[in-house]
Structure 1
Amino acid sequence: MTKYSWIDSCVGRWCPNAERVLDGFHIVSWMTGALDKVRKRLWNQARRDGDENATKRMRGAKHAVLKNPGDLTDRQSATLDGIRNTDPKGQIYRAWQFKELLRTLLKHPVEQARGELNHRVFRASHSRIPEIVELAKKIRRRRPDILRTIQLGYSNARLEASDNRIKATIRMAHGFHHVTNLIALIMLRCGGPDIRLPQPRT
């Protein structure tokens, strides 16, 4: 049983006709999380082995491998080019390639994505990179949800934005004496009506 299995049981009982999808951001975050674990493992290994060349090439690699290629600075692009042969098996660069393949896969038509996903997961499961092999198992388990996400194109980005706005409002309300004041502030910021406060006269 997985961490979120209770969601499937609740949805199956109370919303039997609902289709479960995943947010594309969270799918990519699985890959970036696994990629960062690969980077940390290789970084620590290079430091233990006293490999100064490898540690020098990986310096600053965190931002280079986790950002989208189009958002890289010139320095980060150079760093990414430098990690191709950081370790003998090229693990960090192959992990980065898989991350990019998975990210772009979400933009493909579902029929094309179905075949490509099977191919990518098969290669990932045989990559001999422990973190990527484990991720391949997770993707294989959630394959139907991922394909429905691609097919329907749904996203919870608006909900995430509302949650972040509420969290920011709670920080602003620190020191309020009554929770009703906090609720009123949240309704004011997130309720939708464009309330214009009176302007002071000059």
Structure 2
Amino acid sequence: GFHIVSWMTGALDDVRKRLWNDARRDGDQEGVKRMRGVKYAVLKNPDRLTDRQDESLAALGNTDPKGQLYRAWQLKELLRTLLKHPIEQATAELRHWVFWASHSRIPEIVELSQKIRRRRPDILRTIELGYSNARLEAFNNRIKVTIRMAYGFHHVDNLIA
């Protein structure tokens, strides 16, 4: 499966970190203050925000001078929603998304757009078939938890007992 929303969330967080570090390095106390509390507001789904995070998200447009964080957040939301559309609509929207992202002049997003462009056929196939690897991921997690619980036991009998 393709974790493109996860990729996008990672890129969005990288944009946020870069802008935060730039503001701190430049001594922009006002910019640092505006960036505070934005992390979870941009990373979470908008329908799961707390009131405070909702306020942070509303002020997102004024967070950085070039509006990079806001544009990156918009791209994340577009990508998240296009995965739920029918294949014909998703194909057109993904093409539009890749174009917009590649011309955003946000280095982290441009890099991601290239990755998504390379994997576009696989992503569209996943959308078309509607398959998810969630069960496989859950099973793998269960195996890892079991292995972690078994750490230190010399024999399987001791673990089961």
In the other structure, the counterpart of 2:111 is 134
- 1:171 Cα deviation after fit: 2.0
The amino acid that maps onto 1:133 is: V
Report the CA distance between 1:106 and its aligned residue. Answer: 0.5
Task: Give the equivalent residue in structure 2 for 1:152.
Answer: 129
TM-score normalised by L of structure 2: 0.94
Number of residues paired by the alignment? 160
One-letter amino acid matched to 2:104: S
- Does residue 115 of structure 2 align to residue 124 of structure 1? no
Q: Structure 1 residue 100: deviation in Å?
A: 0.7
List runs of 5+ in structure 2 lacking aligned partners: none
Relative distance call for 1:70 and 1:181 in structure 2 (3 A) is farther
- Unpaired runs of 5+ in structure 1? 1-21, 186-202
TM-score, length of structure 1 as denominator length: 0.76
CA distance in 1: counterparts of 2:62 and 2:38, whole angstroms = 13
Deviations 1:22-50 (CA, angstroms, capped at 9, x unpaired): 33xx1111100110110000000000111
Residue of 50, 67, 75 corresponding to 1:98 = 75
CA distance, structure 2, for counterparts of residue 140 and residue 98 of structure 1: 15
The one-letter code matched in structure 1 to 2:57 is: L
User: Is the partner of 1:108 in helix, strand or coil?
Assistant: coil
Partner of 1:170: 147
Q: Which has the larger radius of gyration?
A: 1
Task: Confirm whether residue 70 of structure 1 aligns to residue 50 of structure 2.
Answer: no
Q: Distance in 2 between matches of 1:82 and 1:135?
A: 25
Distance 1:175 1:31 in 2: 38
Moved runs in structure 1, 4+ residues, more than 3 A? none
Task: Determine if the alignment matches structure 1 residue 111 to structure 2 residue 88.
Answer: yes
**1:30 matches 2:7:** yes
Q: Which has the higher helix share?
A: 2
Shift in alpha-carbon separation, 1:174–1:140, aligned structure 2, 3 A: same
Could you tell me which residue of structure 1 aligns to residue 33 of structure 2?
Answer: 56
